[in-house]
Amino acid sequence: MSRTLMFVCLWMAASTCAQADQTSNPPQADVRSPAPPSARASDALADMPLWAYGIATLPQPGDTAKPQGWGRQFNPAMSRDDQLRPVLHVAGSPRTYAPIDLNDWANVVDWFPDEHAPMPEVVQHGSAALGERRRACAFCHRISGGGRPENAPIAGLPVEYFLRQLEDFRSGRRHSTDPRKPNVPTMIEIARAISPDEARAAAEYYAKQSGAPRIRIVESDRVPPLRLRGNLFVATSQERTEPLADRIVELLDGENEQFNDNPHVGYMAYVPRGGIERGRALVAAGTSGAPAAAGTTAQPCTACHGTELHGLGPAPPLAGRSPSYLVRQLYDFKTGSRVGSLAPLMKPVASRLTTQQMTDIAAYIASLP
């Protein structure tokens, strides 16, 4: 039994411990990479929360995505000279950047160098092992670790949890239910390349970041008209004219939605009306009204993730994190796209939740300090 699992057993009810122990060394068939969606009946994904993946249609058999780009990526629709001109500012920053600097995967823009600890090389420039394909962790997860709705908030994660996820990506035990989401194969390529020293340096750096500013949650029936840019929603006007319709929509909070990676600008989320209260009840009650599978108990999230959902032992903190990310992970545990070494603790929990319940739970958890 691994050290972590031993801890889990000390800290959890004996019945669940037996279950965790059993599933920690599952037969070969259970640990292989999940079957690609092409092998799954597509109606099995009929309840997929597409909005959480930032896509508009269900994945189809054979869909895949290649890892994303690297280097300095010029926008072919703009003149090269314009992209090289240092004209970008954000309020209060001593620095000026050119538009191309925002598209440099290997050297992340740093508007407020005095507001964070020195970044390890891998966080600022990416893993040396990837050579010209290196990509800075902070390019996606931001210098603060707050991340963006389409990747992951990684600030304040315990080092052990952080390293376990890198290992799960590396060993093929963590994918996305949507095989078209290109940043997940990119993350997998990074996890395969990163050295143990780089991984630890990144984990230790991000464990100390706050991820601020915190997300602003707004209950609403309506949202502004939206379009997808990559796997991220952007509003095309400010007026709330479209129905929210059981989704959560996360948008950049302010600055006229201008994307210049100002670390003082965070995200806001529209969540369904009444969702926070419904989510609070679900979190307190255990998982859901659905009967627990034989041999398992419906444990409240707080039993494992801590009374304030700030994390406990191997269970990571959840409070205040991106609700789209949370729903995506719950759904990925449910479909078996996340089958890492400790995923067996989450699989029965997530499997009992409907997509609607996941949405309400995420609305509540994201609203917590």
Q: Is residue 122 at the binding interface for ligand HEC, with CB under 6 A as the rule?
A: yes
- Taking CB under 6 A as the binding criterion, the range among 81-89, 133-141, 216-224, 241-249 that sits at the site for ligand HEC is 133-141
Residues in region 236-265 near ligand HEC by CB under 6 A: none
Q: Which of 143, 244, 342, 366 binds ligand HEC (CB under 6 A)?
A: 342
Q: Is residue 148 at the binding interface for ligand HEC, with CB under 6 A as the rule?
A: no
Q: Which of 120, 275, 314, 320 binds ligand HEC (CB under 6 A)?
A: 314
Please state the closest distance from residue 151 (CB atom) to ligand HEC, in A. Answer: 4
Contact between 99 and 83 (Cβ < 8 Å): yes
Q: Which of 303, 306, 351, 355 binds ligand HEC (CB under 6 A)?
A: 303
Nearer to ligand HEC (CB atom), residue 145 or residue 224: 145
Nearer to ligand HEC (CB atom), residue 83 or residue 127: 127
Residues in region 345-364 near ligand HEC by CB under 6 A: 345-346, 349, 361
Nearer to ligand HEC (CB atom), residue 224 or residue 248: 248
- Taking CB under 6 A as the binding criterion, the range among 31-39, 108-116, 219-227, 339-347 that sits at the site for ligand HEC is 339-347
Nearer to ligand HEC (CB atom), residue 144 or residue 224: 144
- Using CB under 6 A, count the residues that bind ligand HEC: 46
Angle between helices 183-193 and 159-170 (to 10 degrees): 100
Nearer to ligand HEC (CB atom), residue 21 or residue 242: 21
Q: Which of 316, 320, 323, 336 binds ligand HEC (CB under 6 A)?
A: 316
Q: Is residue 134 at the binding interface for ligand HEC, with CB under 6 A as the rule?
A: no
Q: Is residue 223 at the binding interface for ligand HEC, with CB under 6 A as the rule?
A: no
Nearer to ligand HEC (CB atom), residue 273 or residue 280: 280
Q: Is residue 319 at the binding interface for ligand HEC, with CB under 6 A as the rule?
A: no
Query: Between 151 and 190, how does the x/- string for binding to ligand HEC read (CB under 6 A)?
Result: xx-x--x----x-xxx---------x------xx-xx--x
Rounded to whole angstroms, the Cα distance separating 311 from 318 reads: 7
State how far the alpha carbon of 198 is from the alpha carbons of 47, 88, 128, 165, 265, in Å. 38, 31, 9, 14, 28
- Taking CB under 6 A as the binding criterion, the range among 36-44, 149-157, 243-251, 266-274 that sits at the site for ligand HEC is 149-157
Nearer to ligand HEC (CB atom), residue 186 or residue 209: 186
Nearest Cα to Cα of residue 305 among 295, 315, 291, 320: 315
Q: Is residue 328 at the binding interface for ligand HEC, with CB under 6 A as the rule?
A: yes
Task: Give the pairing of strands 232-235 and 249-252.
Answer: unpaired
Query: Which H, E and C letters describe the chain, residue by residue?
Result: CCHHHHHHHHHCCHHHHHHHHHHHCCCHHHHCCCCCHHHCCHHHHCCCCHHHHCCCCCCCCCCCCCCCCCCECCCCCCCHHHHHCCCECCCCCCCCECHHHHHECCCCCCCCHHHCCCCCHHHHHCCHHHHHHCCCHHHHHCCCCCCCCCCCCCCCCCHHHHHHHHHHHHCCCECCCCCCCCHHHHHHHHHHHCCHHHHHHHHHHHHCCCCCCCCEEEECCEECCEEEECCEEEECCCCCCEECCCCCEEEECCHHHCCCCCCCCCEEEEECCCHHHHHHHHHHHCCCCCCCCCCCCCCCHHHHHCCCCCCECCECCCCCCCHHHHHHHHHHHHHCCECCCCHHHHHHHHHCCCHHHHHHHHHHHHHCC
Residues contributing to the site for ligand HEC (CB under 6 A): 16, 68, 122, 127, 135, 137, 139-141, 151-152, 154, 157, 162, 164-166, 176, 183-184, 186-187, 190, 194, 202, 287, 299, 301, 303-305, 314-316, 318, 326, 328-330, 340, 342-343, 345-346, 349, 361
